[in-house]
C-alpha cells in the first residue's frame, strides 16, 4: 500500500500539524502492509522534515514542491496539482494532514482527512475577519468531499457532529488520537535559552492565539513572583510561534514589570523541546478550547508536573496526575492556586506513555480506517 500525505503548510518551523504528519508517516512505514509513504511538503518545509523528525525509513520519501509560500499558491496547488500527483504516483490512499480544498472526482484513490479542531467555528478570533470565512469554507469543503474523517479526539468528533450534524451518516468518521513518541529523541539544551541549566522555569507550549489564554498564565506568574511563591530567579518560558496575540502578550509583560523574566521561544528542535519538558518546574496550559493538545500529552509522558484548565479535552487526554483549575471570572486566582498545589507535590519519578497514544496502536487504528473507506491492505 502506498500512502500519500500532503502537508504543504505555511509555517517555516515545525508545528503540531507537521509533527502529526511525520508521526503518521513513521508509524505507517513500520507496517508490513505499507510499501511506501510519500510526504509532500513545500520547499520551505522540506529541511525540517528531512532533518528534525528522524524519518530514516527507506519507505518514506519527502517530496518537495517548488511553489511560492502564499495562500493562493498553496490552495491552487491542492486543487489542481495534488490530484495529478496522486494519480501519477498511483497512491492507494491520500491522507490529508489537515483540511484543504479538493475536487474529489479528480482523485483515483480514496481521500481521508485528519480533523484537528473546529477553530474556524469555535475560535473565529484566531483568524480574524474576513480570513475566518475562508477557513470555514475550506473546512466545509473538505469535510463534505472526503471519503472519511479522522478526528484527533472525542471532543473534536463531537464538535464535528455539532457543526455538521449529519456528516457521520454519510461517511466513516473515527477518533484516532495523535501519536506521542519522544523515546528516540535525545534531549539538548536550547541554543536560544537566555538562562542557565539550573535556573527554575515554568513551561508552556502554545501558539500565540486567543484560545490559549496565555495572558492568564502571564498574570498568574506575576502574582506568584509578587507573593513570594516563586523564587525571584524563576522564568516563564513560552514556546510557540508568533500570532495575533503576540503584541498584546508582550505589552502585558511590560505593564506587569516582568518582561525580562518571560522568555518567548519558537522553532525549537525536538531535542530542545524534550530538554525543556524534562527540566521545567512544571508545565502549564490554560486553553479555553483545544482539539487535542499534543504538548500536554508530551509533558505527561515525560513525567512533568502538569497544571491545566478544566476543559473536556484535557480531561479526555489528561490524567489524574494533572492539577486542574477552573476558568471564568476567578481564572487567575484559580490558576495561581493550582500552580502552588502542583509545586508542593514531589516531581513524578517515572515517565509513562498512555497506550492510546502509542505509535503501534495509533497506526493500527489508521490502517483499520483506511479499510473502512475501501483501501485494500
CATH code of 156's domain: 3.40.50.2000
Are residues 24 and 146 located together in one domain of the fold?
yes
- Within a domain: residue 120? yes
Q: Identify whether residues 156 and 276 lie together within a single domain.
A: no
Are 68 and 44 spatial neighbours (Cβ–Cβ below 8 Å)? no
By three-state DSSP, how is residue 198 classified? coil
pLDDT tens, the chain, 377 aa long: 999 999 999 988 888 899 999 999 999 999 999 999 999 999 999 888 888 787 889 999 999 999 999 999 999 999 999 999 999 999 999 999 999 999 999 999 999 999 999 999 998 888 888 889 989 999 999 999 999 999 999 999 999 999 999 998 889 999 999 998 887 789 999 999 999 999 999 999 999 999 999 999 999 999 999 999 999 999 999 999 998 999 999 999 999 999 999 999 998 888 999 999 999 999 999 999 999 999 999 999 999 999 999 999 999 999 888 999 999 999 999 999 999 999 999 888 666 778 899 999 999 999 999 999 998 76
Cell numbers 523528525 correspond to 53
Alpha carbon distances (Å) from 371 to 177, 299, 374: 18, 33, 5
State how far the Cα of 116 lies from the Cα of 118, in Å rounded to an integer: 7
> In this structure, is residue 187 part of a structural domain?
no
Statement to judge: residues 171 and 213 lie in one domain = no
CB 245 within 8 A of CB 211: no
Q: Flag whether 216 is in a domain.
A: yes
Residue position matching grid coordinates 513545500: 42
Nearest CA-CA partner of 82 in 36, 25, 170, 146: 146
Q: Same domain for 240 and 125?
A: no
Same domain? For 350 and 363 the reply is no
Question: Do 326 and 367 fall within a single domain?
Answer: no
Helix or strand run (H / E) with residue 373: none
- Estimate the crossing angle of helix 214-226 against helix 246-255, to 10 degrees: 10
Do residues 349 and 228 share a domain?
Answer: yes
Instruction: Give a yes or no: residue 61 inside a domain.
Output: yes
Residues 367 and 318 in one domain: no
Q: Tell me the residue range of the domain where 244 lies.
A: 201-354
195 found inside a domain: no
Q: 38: which strand partners?
A: 4, 61
Instruction: Answer yes or no: do 62 and 175 share one domain.
Output: yes
192/178 Cα distance (integer angstroms): 28
Asked whether 155 and 289 are in contact (CB, 8 A), the reply is no
Quote the Cα angle for 373-153-303, to 5°: 130
- Asked if 156 and 26 sit in the same domain, the reply is yes
175: cell is 477518533
Q: Quick check: pTM over 0.85?
A: yes
- How many CB atoms are located within 10 Å of the residue 276 CB? 23
Q: What is the residue-wise DSSP string for 273-292?
A: HHHHHHH-SEEEE--S--S-
Strands of 60-65's sheet in order across = 60-65, 36-42, 2-6, 93-96, 111-115, 148-151, 173-175
Q: Examine residue 164 and state whether it is found in any structural domain, yes or no.
A: yes
Beta bridge partners of 65: 42
Q: How many independent structural domains does the chain possess? A: 2
Q: 250 and 168, same structural domain?
A: no
228 and 330, same structural domain?
Answer: yes
Cα 95 to the center of its chain, rounded Å: 17
Question: Beta-carbon neighbour count of residue 8 at 10 Å?
Answer: 23
Determine, yes or no, domain membership for 191: no
The β-bridge partners of 42 are 65
Indicate whether 21 belongs to any domain. yes
C-alpha span between 225 and 231 (Å, rounded): 7
What's the N-to-C CA distance of the chain in angstroms?
Answer: 6
Phi-psi group of 293: left, alpha or beta (phi > 0 → left; psi -120 to 50 → alpha; rest → beta): left
Amino acid at each position: 500500500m502506498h500512502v500519500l500525505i500532503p502537508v504543504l503548510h505555511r509555517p517555516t518551523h515545525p508545528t503540531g500539524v507537521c509533527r502529526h504528519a511525520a508521526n503518521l508517516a513513521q508509524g505507517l512505514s513500520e507496517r508490513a502492509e505499507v510499501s511506501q509513504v510519500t510526504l509532500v511538503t513545500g520547499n520551505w518545509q522540506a529541511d525540517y522534515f528531512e532533518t528534525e523528525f528522524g524519518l530514516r525509513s527507506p519507505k518514506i520519501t519527502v517530496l518537495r514542491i517548488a511553489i511560492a509560500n502564499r495562500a493562493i499558491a498553496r490552495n491552487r496547488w491542492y486543487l489542481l496539482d495534488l490530484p495529478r500527483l496522486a494519480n501519477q504516483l498511483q497512491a492507494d490512499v491520500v491522507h490529508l494532514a489537515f483540511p484543504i480544498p479538493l475536487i474529489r472526482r479528480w482523485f483515483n484513490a480514496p481521500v481521508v482527512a485528519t480533523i484537528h479542531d473546529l477553530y474556524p467555528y469555535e475560535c473565529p478570533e484566531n483568524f480574524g475577519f474576513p480570513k475566518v470565512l475562508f477557513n470555514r469554507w475550506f473546512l466545509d469543503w473538505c469535510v463534505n468531499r472526503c471519503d472519511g474523517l479522522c478526528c484527533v479526539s472525542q471532543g473534536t468528533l463531537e464538535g464535528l457532529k455539532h457543526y455538521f450534524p449529519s456528516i457521520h451518516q454519510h461517511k466513516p468518521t473515527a477518533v484516532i488520537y495523535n501519536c506521542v513518541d519522544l523515546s528516540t529523541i535525545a534531549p539538548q539544551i536550547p541554543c536560544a535559552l537566555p538562562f542557565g541549566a539550573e535556573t527554575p522555569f515554568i513551561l508552556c507550549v502554545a501558539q500565540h492565539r486567543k484560545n490559549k489564554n496565555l495572558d492568564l498564565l502571564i498574570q498568574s506568574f506575576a502574582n506568584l513572583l509578587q507573593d513570594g511563591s516563586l523564587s525571584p530567579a524563576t522564568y516563564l518560558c513560552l514556546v510557540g510561534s508568533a500570532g495575533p496575540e503576540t503584541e498584546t502578550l508582550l505589552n502585558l509583560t511590560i505593564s506587569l514589570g516582568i518582561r525580562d523574566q518571560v522568555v518567548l521561544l519558537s522553532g525549537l528542535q525536538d531535542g530542545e523541546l524534550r530538554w525543556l519538558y524534562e527540566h521545567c518546574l512544571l508545565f502549564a496550559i490554560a486553553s479555553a478550547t483545544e482539539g487535542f493538545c499534543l504538548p500536554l500529552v508530551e509533558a505527561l509522558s515525560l513525567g512533568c508536573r502538569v497544571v491545566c484548565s478544566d476543559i473536556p479535552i484535557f480531561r479526555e487526554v489528561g490524567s489524574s496526575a494533572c492539577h486542574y483549575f477552573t476558568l471564568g471570572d476567578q481564572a487567575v486566582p484559580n490558576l495561581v492556586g493550582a500552580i502552588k498545589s502542583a509545586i508542593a507535590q514531589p516531581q513524578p519519578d517515572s515517565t509513562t506513555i498512555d497506550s492510546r497514544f502509542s505509535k503501534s496502536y495509533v497506526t493500527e487504528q489508521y490502517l483499520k480506517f483506511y479499510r473502512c473507506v475501501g483501501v485494500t491492505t
